[in-house]
Amino acid sequence: MSTQRILHVDMDAFYASVAELDHPELRGKPVVVGAGIRGVVLSANYAARKYGIRAAMPVGRAQRMAPQAVFVAPEHGRYAEISERVMKIFSDFTPLVEPLSLDEAFLDVTGAQRLLGSAREIAEKIRARVSSEEGITCSVGIAPNKFLAKLASQHCKPNGLLEIQEDRIIEFLHPLPESAMWGVGPKTNENLAIVTGK
């Protein structure tokens, strides 16, 4: 029986990438998606993240951190439109697509490998199509399960690909901090630090 191969495909700074796609003059500038001084940041491109700006941060705080950044209002209809097309690309490779949000999904490509090549080859084809057809980039993690695939995609952002083989799992996980684990937020991380004595 073939080893399960799961892809976690995650669009890079999706909302901000769409803003740059629709407004090419923004490329190379720090871009933050979020409306109103009392609103929250929905997305920030990598240029804006260098200033410490993150999703869910108050827009007012982000403006103080990077007054030179370009702040754009969200366009939810546009995100949904592009997301639908991206998910269609995924379904061209496997019917086993599990969307997590507009900009990320798990794909089980275990069976698809017989026809379409290795999981890595499938991931490369998906990345190429998303780039050529939609003009945005994505990062892909490949692993035997969802948990590891999501960790892998986060580890290779932006615009990367990382495959974790079965015999390299411990090697990959060992140096990671507890906060890198999917689902471990600040409070859980505090509790784990108490337990582990770190």
Amino acid at 42: L
Helix/strand/coil (H, E, C) string of 48-68? Answer: HHCCCCCCCCEHHHHHHHCCC
Q: Does residue 124 carry a catalytic annotation?
A: no
DSSP code per residue over 85-129? HHHHHHHTT-S-EEEEETTEEEEE-TTTHHHH--HHHHHHHHHHH
According to DSSP, residue 26 is labeled: G
- 22, containing H or E segment: helix 14-22
Among 25, 98, 104, 166, the one annotated catalytic: 104
Question: What strands, in cross-sheet order, belong to the sheet with 70-72?
Answer: 43-44, 31-33, 70-72
DSSP conformational letter for 24: G
State the catalytic residues: 104
